[in-house]
Chain A
């Protein structure tokens, strides 16, 4: 008997030992700011991932722009579920039990979990990095929220990207896209590309993969058939992007990115998202809810207001391509070398 009780204590002790050493959520802030109101929010992030981290950073910046500053009048509880659905729901339940004023769910599964719990506890939810809030049943078909939940979508600016590719490559006919068949967001984006490509005189050649291991072979087959490649925000493909870039460079085929980080590592250019901006936009929405100016249910979900152009001159030089001046004029960020 003593042993079995000891087992539990051992386990409990192990946890407490491990956890006390780590920096954790700060104790609720007591110092009152000018307007005397303090807020506590819970940020649940589905996975550790560059773009999602940028969303969170931007979110806090957006809140700060509205005068809600972490450490002053805002306490932030942040948890990451490491792509584990079971942990995600425990994280959200934990937020709910601490009576947070608002939950921010980053990426689709976390947003859905937050809504599942939040609607029972009357806690408003703000989401970001949800590509298709309608398909995720977080918004109605007309963009209105399904409950006390709203946020921003990281839907790619597909037509702007096609326009940009046409400007840089006036003679190209086919665009290749690689995507993972199990990623919902990629499927819908590929469809969108196919629908819009005709307007710009392109044909889309797509290739689906199921795991990282499929990338090299799929890339070889894709590069045989296309004039250029455009990349989505597909997690598996993005993680293997260097492989595709390497193969494409050898064949002198340009690869376009979908966000700034991809251009940094060797995509020619992107008319894409800046996740920090997306996060800021989300943060401002959250501020409106916290201050009581608007309810989450009164705001439609938003998409990024403008696509931002970024390019890589080193890649352009390698490919023997010059980026047209009118694009260069609107450049948000220009890289002159390829970051390894």
Chain B
């Protein structure tokens, strides 16, 4: 039970970030590495803000805003300065490392165990019945993730959201509509990194400390979640096992959240199966490779008929 809750908690925290990666990787087709630094950005900002006495819930909004700014920076470097997509992300990622340390007050590790967080505060202590306490964190995370997902779904159905999807699929269409595809990309990157930073904020409050290394490998988790989720629940040919079973079609955003939980479950399974500690990174990368290989196979089959 503890393990299940642990997997759900971990999965849901990273699901918010994975929603961001879904926008860049799947919708915009932009390999955005800046999430590796916007995730700790949110965590650093949150740790500093909590120590300064800022309301824990407010830190979520600040983090989103800061992440969105960083995303804009990646976008501007790519669109206005014409730097390649991968490099723009790397530039922002490298620069933000120093900035994150600055934000955290020059410290690589900032504990916030004694501060109120969205998971531990007087309000929750008063209003959550004792029996529900072990599930409080999961419920709060579920709420945050659900709100992010619904807002993203709503956004993708607006005019701006349609343009975002169009840029990934067919850039010329966007140009023919007299819209600037560069601006659309910047908006997409801003939202994506906003989500990543927001996830970092939640992570910091959940764990009770900020550590400069938390961002390492964020993109791997994000990509794995997106690919697992999409492959599993809404593959490109539109026929998932859900539809075969007569169940309703799920949105890609839901699939990504499920993907994040499945990914964390796989890691947890690997740990609890008693694998050699030192092989964990290798297993992560192999798991990733297997999923990628299987997904490219599918693309080959679909494209010739498309």
Contact = CB atoms under 8 A, between A and B. Distances in A.
Interface of A: 1, 3-8, 10-12, 14-16, 18-20, 22-25, 45, 48, 78-87, 89-91, 93-94, 96-98, 108-109, 112-113, 115-116, 120-121, 135-138, 146, 181-184, 187, 210
Interface stretch (B139-147, B156-164, B169-177, B237-245): B237-245
Given A11-B287, A84-B216, A181-B101, A23 B276 contact: yes
Contacts of B216: 83-85
Contact of A109 (B2, B109, B112): B109
A86 B264 CA distance: 10
B267 A87 contact: yes
Interface stretch (B85-93, B180-188, B277-285): B277-285
Contacts of B266: 11-12, 15
Given A79-B271, A86-B217, A10 B6 contact: no
Interface residues of B, number: 67
Nearest to A117: B6
A90 B271 contact: yes
Interface string B264-276: 1011111111111
A96 B2 contact: yes
B70 interface: no
A44 to B, nearest CB: 9
A20 B272 CA distance: 11
A22 B275 contact: yes
A75 B298 CA distance: 46
A1 B276 contact: no
Nearest to B237: A3
A149 to B, nearest CB: 10
Nearest to B215: A85
B116 to A, nearest CB: 14
Given A8-B232, A14-B290, A82-B281, A19 B270 contact: yes
B294 A10 contact: yes
Contacts of B9: 93
A157 B287 CA distance: 45
Contacts of A25: 274
B243 A1 contact: yes
B279 A18 contact: yes
B243 A96 contact: no
B150 interface: no
A11 B276 contact: no
A19 B267 contact: no
Contact of A82 (B107, B207, B228, B280): B280
Contacts of B228: 7-8, 11
8 contacts: A4-B240, A10-B290, A85-B214, A87-B267, A98-B272, A112-B207, A121-B2, A182-B212
Nearest to A80: B277
B232 A4 contact: yes
Contacts of B107: 184, 187
A83 B213 contact: yes
Nearest to B133: A120
Interface in B233-266: 233, 235, 239-241, 243-244, 262, 264, 266
Interface centre among B10, B114, B206, B271 (most CB of A within 10 A): B271
Contacts of A135: 111
Contacts of A82: 277-278, 280-281
A184 B109 CA distance: 7
A136 B112 CA distance: 9
Contacts of B233: 4
B55 interface: no
B276 A136 contact: no
A58 B6 CA distance: 30
A113 B10 contact: no
B35 to A, nearest CB: 13
